[in-house]
Amino acid sequence: MNEQEGRTVVITGGTGGIGFQSALGIARTGARVLITGRNRERGESALQRIVDETGNDRVEFVVGDVSSIEGIDALARALVERADHIDVLVNNAGYMGSTPASSDDGLEMHFAVNVLAPWRLTLALLPALEAAEHARVLNITGGDKPAAIDPANVQAEKGFRGLMTYQHSKSAMEAMSMALAKKLEPEGVTVNVLFPGRASTAMTGSMSAKALPGAMKLMYPLLRLLFKEDGGKSAKKAARSTIWGATSPEFDGVTGRYFNTNSKEQKLHPTAYDSQVQDSILAVIKATEGPPSPRP
């Protein structure tokens, strides 16, 4: 229970699904855990459950919405007010939509939540990460095996394709993470990508037939069966890689890597390491940026 005492872990989207199970597992190690989410009632309920099940009273809920630049910066300010150092930042919050949607900043919503948010939040929290020893950033991916990135389609410019748009945004996040790892290596902060595996969560449960392109709609009944409610069993299994990544000393100094659901290192698609692809993604991000507000 005390192996992680003194360490502070932040988990975005930690009020349900894989994020909640990750927070529960990390709290069992004795770390201080800050979970974030949009819904205060759901967050307070998750907080109480974690405390009750682990006996760790060093768990806190911070309300925050990472779907907009204003929301990301507000969350960052709230986090740095509570934590003078952050040992682990788990960018777990994700978005999967069935119909086209834009953020308050005019970005395609998958790009806004799955790509921009982890980049901007990480940089906004950099002073707190730099204040910790061996600080790590874990970006949680999704979809299936690593796939190719089309730099001309990072905001569904070639058409919204539901589940495929979600998966492509996660591939873009993987490339962004490789660029972020290079950027933060001189600061002593590591960045890695983890794939938890498939799980039944509120996000997968909300998937409709509209989210499936073309002939894939015929697979909708099978997917509903695959992701049927299981009381958190599959999310608990999927969270194991995140818990390992947040707590294992094997991760000290490791950066720019990808680990699968079994915590085994694998290679991403070659496009994720392509500097031109990375630059195309970062160009979209940087077009939105003033300096993240918590930084000097």
pLDDT for 110-131, tens place per residue?
Answer: 999 999 999 999 999 999 999 9
- pLDDT recorded at residue 204: 55
Mean pLDDT lowest for which of 16-30, 245-259, 278-292?
278-292
For residue 184 the two structure tokens come to: 């933060």
Task: Match domain 8-286 to its CATH number in 3.30.70.890, 3.30.565.10, 3.40.50.1950, 3.40.50.720.
Answer: 3.40.50.720
Q: How far apart are the first and last CA of the chain?
A: 36
pLDDT band, residue 179 (cuts 50/70/90): very high
Name every residue whose Cβ is closer than 8 Å to that of residue 124 and which is 6 or more positions away in sequence. 72, 73, 76, 292, 293, 294, 295
- pLDDT recorded at residue 296: 35
Q: How many CB atoms lie within 10 A of CB 273?
A: 15
Asked whether residue 220 carries a pLDDT value surpassing 60, the answer given is no
Q: Alpha-carbon torsion 167, 163, 230, 220, what sign?
A: negative
- pLDDT recorded at residue 290: 62
8 A C-beta contact, residue 175 and residue 122 = no
Asked whether residue 196 carries a pLDDT value surpassing 50, the answer given is yes
Mean pLDDT of 82-87: 97
Q: Quote the percentage of the chain above a pLDDT of 90.
A: 79
Collect contacts of 76-83 with beta carbons under 8 A, ≥24 apart.
76/121, 76/124, 76/125, 76/292, 76/293, 76/294, 77/293, 77/294, 79/10, 79/34, 79/36, 79/125, 79/128, 80/125, 80/127, 80/128, 80/294, 82/34, 83/8, 83/10, 83/32, 83/34, 83/128
Judging by DSSP bridges, how do beta strands 258-259 and 190-194 pair with one another?
parallel
Q: Quote the percentage of the chain above a pLDDT of 70.
A: 87
Domain boundaries, the chain: 8-286
Name every residue whose Cβ is closer than 8 Å to that of residue 250 and which is 6 or more positions away in sequence. none
User: How many residues are given for the chain?
Assistant: 296
- pLDDT recorded at residue 197: 79
pLDDT for 240-266, tens place per residue?
Answer: 999 999 999 999 999 999 999 999 999
